[in-house]
Structure 1
């Protein structure tokens, strides 16, 4: 009989807690012991002939196969735990010893001795989890956690404990707890420690000295640590309460300070608990009612003054108690006559506090002000009522019409901060501020701005309102719209300025006309007298006749120039305007000069957005640009090819035209005061009448613009045109 069939070994294999099996080199079961039935639920026949790897968890197969390969080169390998699929209980954790018997002719495989360690691992995991929780509680606890042996030496401590004392952990772990206790507290703490080692939990507050020799107060709980029924040490939890104690002391001091402050408040102040009993009354309240604090203390206010149950004051107190929100009211009472009291009722922990002020005089004044406000609301002028700090309390409809702001938008604001802007005169602003500081009546004209941003002028009369004690109560400001008046004044100033300029221009024009007319007229008169004395058939007669014709032609030219200039001046009133595309009109100006520019190798650059357009008289704009381009070509330098740059840029006021060349240029110090005057020429070698720039300036100003020039001899000339309604000052 073989060993495998003997009852002894059969019973041994069936009842063993380990599973004995044999697998070949590829992991296929050749033999499985009967204990597999109790361990994994399979019969041996179900496993024999199958690969052991087919029962392993997929995540564990690669590592287990690698171990089997290693087993071929060694006698024995113990595997790490792996998961094996049982027949009824799912995955089980198995630990296995693999013995190499490939060389044994009787076995020719690997003997595997497997053990189910699932419960062991679970217990270990639970223990690790408990350890992790304990470690986390110990290390991460916000309070100081420590343990002492029975002799009082530190065995463990967390970071917070080290932070409180300021010593590193390795120093503390060699120390006895008594080394850090303040001397006067040492006896008490020793007793506490001994009681804890005898099995009684202890709680105490005492003082310690940290590494910086600073005394701190800590609150400590000591708990006995038991092992097998005996105390083996003490564990403690401590908290630094130094700042807390300091804060409590500070609260006590502040409370006493607050009590003294409330006692000194000149207006009545009381505090009531949740049952409406007096807990505090100040001196002002006692004086008002005529009783002492002892009389009120503990009394229910509604029982002392039952008439208050029918008052609005009672209702407001109830509301504060219910909602926890502050309430305000004014109510009339009979206290040595009719008085109006203004109450502030606010909650606090355990009750409500009440502060009130006698506002009888203010209420009467307020009613008077309301009457005045009714009158003010009907006036067309702007009326503003301000508090003593200058902030708006009320405005009438006239103000809202003037400024564009609603009443709700302006209440609480300072008028100057709201209405004044960039163009407001700083001296006027300073004057207004000064008068407000002096609290005196004043009058001023100031430029304000509506909500829309539109400027408007007002004349303001500001009157301070003071009480019987000369204390400032309000300001009242009356605003009168004087925009049209200021416009008329500005127009008169501009008209006077224009008349002055026109008078100067007229003097110049008269001089130039008389000068330019005198020569051809004198020549014509002299030639006329001479021709009557010469024979008509003589050669001299024809010569005189030709000279007479030249003089008349010169006279005609001057008259045409005069007519042209006068027509430009007169057109300003009725000049038609249209939307003009700027790039298109510049192109139109350059077209007639195209051949001349090309033949002279001139370089023309344009920097103009094709979308730019402006309202202007097209003929005048064309004439202006044509004159400037013509001048650039006429006065180009003979030493280099002409470069002509024309750009148009848009700014917040309109358009800026820049026409720049590299021509002959001019000495601005010499020509600056003569540049735009009639019949002035600065390049005698070049043909011209000296009227072009005069007409350009006249036309630019006629269409509402300005012209500026910068030039240098041998460098070139740049004309800058500011066109657009906003460029007119």
Structure 2
């Protein structure tokens, strides 16, 4: 149909499936295509939507909407900031539009692509956030407890006015995370706050501690600092907490005793491996988790020992280099992934942090180490990567199969159409009879194609077929018996070098088909100057039983045909009975059993196929 000079078709199926509310318009802003989500979000009906200008669908647009949309037509880099309010019985809803130019194959702008985002919840949250922020500011001022928020992803630290008073800085002072950590007194306080923040980032724990703090004017005070994690989509993205000046409350406390007790209590109850090393990288303190990992029941078995006495030399050398870097630069290493292997061969992956332990002279007297065992997480990551790889391969196979189906059915359709057209216009009865015979032949070819395609689909979709252990030689004998007349007629000889005890785990019907295809191909494509000779052998290799099928036939030019060898309807020799489907189906059967197939060939010499049968899964 025609919409104001623009030819349109039925709604594009790809656009319909878009996960966002999206429309395509022409230059008159009339809707050409629309996603199903757009139709459902705004409760539109197709008959009242397609061909209608945007302003007729959304009647509460701002006055300058048309001017903005014309701008997007001329500048494809525009991102819209056009808001739309929808009134309903349940209240108002807010939408944000994002526009970009819609171009054809020649780069000419033919309309707009508009995405709609529901920002109602965000807008309401912003309004609620403003109200809560005002309330929070008042509470902070009354209680004199400051609030801070650290954004890990953007490395941004935000603090309220009460904290500015504690820091003794001006209103325009910009806080940074590193500077905030450095504001705590060298030694215990700075190390403790560093460990607490690390624990929150890695484990998601909450904490509340009394620490010594130095203001911008150099005055030392005691503060009460608390922290907890901030989550987004289940992941820790920040740390937030409170800060209070408690100098008057702790003036009479014994600082050294409190520091010792707090540190000891903290590390003994952390579900992490914690240790302290001296300047020679000897452990002078370890917690229970560290003892458990090292396989000892008493910390005395670790104290005073270096990594060279506990780990192999490569791991120990790397750890010592990290220790020296931290103690010389006074810059902590946070959340570094390391692999530790003890001398008894136990291997684990850790997320490790090392923080310099400063003395009163400002120099490092050792370091504090924190490690979290993430071996299980790494294993899950590998399993996920393997799953993604399998899914990607399956998707590529599906797309390739779809192209094959489309191509072959289109070819048959074109052939039928042409023959029917000839039949309709042909006057000669004898010629009509000939055309009918051609149609019958074309019908047989179509039926054969459909049967081939159906077999491929069955292989790739039937996940319930059970693999069973079988004796490989038994199947080879059965196939030879079925092919006896064929082998005799072609003077073909099979040499079977496979042990009687060789067993493979396969789908029985598949292995018969696989053997039949490879053996008949070896005979079918024999060399004209010699009788066909087929050699079968098998070995065990890296969890696979590898079956080799070697022939002395024509061979294949792998440089020319290697990437097409296992394609559907691909043939490489001028044989009248070649269909190009056998190797394609065989490869699908092998892969359906978690196996693989490789080929080596030399033109005029012969070909060797190696079939890998998975012994494990």
TM-score when scaled to structure 2? Answer: 0.48
For CA contacts below 8 A with separation 6 or more, give which structure has more relative contact order: 2
- TM-score computed with the length of structure 1 as normaliser: 0.42
